[in-house]
Amino acid sequence: MQQDIQDFYDKTKFDFSRQEQKAPDFQWPTNWIKVYFKTYPRMDKIALAKGKYQADPLTNLVRTRESCRDFEDNPISFQDFSDLLYYSMGIKNKGEHLDMTRRVYPSAGARYPIEAYILANNIGGMPFGLFHYSVKANELELLLKGDLRKESSTVFGESNYKTNPNFLVLTGVMSRTEVKYGVNAYRFALIECGHIGQNFSLIARDKNIGCCAIGGFDNDYLSKLIDLTDDEVPLYAFAFGIPKRADS
């Protein structure tokens, strides 16, 4: 990994053990919660049309997608989980030579630096453990078998996810894209994570699975847990599981 990328990554890592506890009377600063919009008041305006597309099923998923942080202590089905992974980041033209395969999301130069790992805490028909998603074979590889709910809380923050849902972790193997785009590999990897994340979020919504994107996690602890090399760094994550009902 180029030193510029390593330096930026190191400067933006989270470490929950160093976070200060909020005072009981803490209030968020106004500029943290106020939403700002840019407009050009003096310029001419053209109102956009509202057509039939607003009733399209895909549009409905986009409109109803939301972050879920409260989960039931019930497993999601293995079939739903399988669909989540494949339709978020799987190969779409199977049967082609592997060098000619493409996936369900765009990647700069078709270099595909993103890898996926799953902390399986509540998935039907699966043991507790840490898994790697093999895109090549569309299968899971068991890296560490055992109950990792305590480790999940350490990585992602115990106060945010009290019921320990499942977690998808997206990492970037920078050398795959660096060879073609140099230091831009980091920026492109982040963009790619966004494409995968949107797929994951919308498919989860379609299946009534709760999902929450996570940008802040304990980077070093997570890297150690997965046993990543120096060239591969965690970039993005998602909590997912059965959403808690309002009446429960």
Examine residue 166 and state whether it is found in any structural domain, yes or no: yes
Q: What is the pLDDT of residue 160?
A: 56
What one-character DSSP code corresponds to residue 120?
Answer: E
pLDDT at 161: 63
**Among the listed residues 212, 237, 211, 210, the one whose alpha carbon sits nearest the alpha carbon of residue 222:** 237
Q: CA 181, 111, 141, 13 torsion: positive or negative?
A: positive
| Assigned domain for 225 exists | yes
- Domain boundaries, position 200: 1-16+81-91+102-248
- Structural domain contains residue 235: yes
Give me the pLDDT at residue 148, please: 94
State pLDDT tens for residues 33-91: 899 999 999 999 999 887 777 778 888 899 999 999 999 989 999 999 999 999 999 99
What's the CA angle centered on 163, arms 238 and 21, to 5 degrees?
A: 80
pLDDT of 188: 97
pLDDT value, residue 117 = 98
The reported pLDDT for the residue numbered 152 is 93
Q: How many domains does the chain have?
A: 1
38: in domain:
no
pTM of the model: 0.91
Low-confidence ranges of the chain (pLDDT < 70): 16-22, 158-162, 246-248
